[in-house]
């Protein structure tokens, strides 16, 4: 992943494999997600925002928590959860293998 100061909503949506509308929804449900908005309302996400969104994705999609459950986990669970990191690494390996298969 290229390291920049800010990422557009489209870039972040692609990183997470979700629609931009999902990111906007999560932003309305989780107070910790506050992307910078320009005068036109375009969102710019920082690395920190992306990490928080990855946690939300992990909790809601991978672990099956409801939004309320995910909010509670965000408050009580350590930020650097080893299990979340393992799931992320395995997902990246899977994506690599799928892309490799498509090139064969």
**Is residue 30 a contact partner of residue 16, using CB atoms and an 8 Å limit?**
no
Nearest to 31 by CA among 59, 12, 52, 11: 52
CATH number (2.60.40.650, 3.40.50.300, 3.30.70.20, 1.10.1660.10) of 7-78 reads 1.10.1660.10
pLDDT of residue 89: 74
* Residue 36 DSSP symbol: E
Q: For residue 41, how many C-alpha atoms fall within 13 Å in the half-sphere facing its CB?
A: 1
Domain ranges for the chain, please list them: 7-78
Q: What is the mean pLDDT of the chain?
A: 87
Model confidence band, residue 80 (pLDDT cutoffs 50, 70, 90): low
Percent of the chain with pLDDT over 70: 92
């Amino acid at each position: 992943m290229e390291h920049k100061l800010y990422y557009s909503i489209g870039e972040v949506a692609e990183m997470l494999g979700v629609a931009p509308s999902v990111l906007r929804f999560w932003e309305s449900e989780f107070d910790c997600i506050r992307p910078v908005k320009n005068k036109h309302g375009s969102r710019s996400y920082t690395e920190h925002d992306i990490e928080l969104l990855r946690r939300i994705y992990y909790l809601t999609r991978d672990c099956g928590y409801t939004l309320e459950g995910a909010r509670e986990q965000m408050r009580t669970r350590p930020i650097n959860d080893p299990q979340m990191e393992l799931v992320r690494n395995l997902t990246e390996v899977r994506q690599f293998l799928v892309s490799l298969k498509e090139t064969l």
